[in-house]
Amino acid sequence: MRRWLYLAGLVVQAIFYVAAGVNHFWHTAMYVAIMPPHYSHPVALVQISGVAEVLGGVGLLMPQSRRFAAWGIIAMLVVYFDVHIYMAMHPERFAGIPAWLLYGRIPLQFVLIAWAAVYTKRDALTA
């Protein structure tokens, strides 16, 4: 059962990051709109983060790159805290998003980090 959960979580997480990364290109304007104003070149940052998410998701699927990809996803999620905190501190800029969601994204980052951390350890599929 544990092996099945490990594999299911891996595949779901990989699909999640690939889809989220592709979404950065389909809805670039939405992601640019949530970028804090202290970042220059927001379009480039949105595209770079989209590529990073796709690569992280694909990297999770390959045993040779799984641990590196998981650490990369964790680093990316830590960087994203700035955006989520900015959004929570400036809800007036995001009137279309409920306040609970603006604040809820912050603890969700911790859950996503913990989920990615599962794959930073020795591969349970080969153990």
Q: What is the pLDDT of residues 55-90, one digit of tens each?
A: 999 999 999 999 999 999 999 999 999 999 999 999
- The 3-class secondary structure across 35-69, one letter per residue, is CCCCCCCHHHHHHHHHHHHHHHHHHHHCCCCHHHH
Residue 49 neighbours by CB under 8 Å, 6+ apart: 21, 24, 31, 76, 80
Instruction: Enumerate residue ranges in the chain where pLDDT < 50.
Output: none
CA 32 to CA 4: how far, in whole Å?
A: 38
Residue located via tokens 């153990």: 127
Q: Of 67, 77, 68, 103, give the one whose Cα is nearest residue 16.
A: 77
Q: Rounded to two decimals, what is the model's pTM?
A: 0.90
User: What is the pLDDT, as a whole number, of residue 76?
Assistant: 97
Residue 99: CB atoms within 10 A of its CB come to 10
User: What is the pLDDT, as a whole number, of residue 96?
Assistant: 87
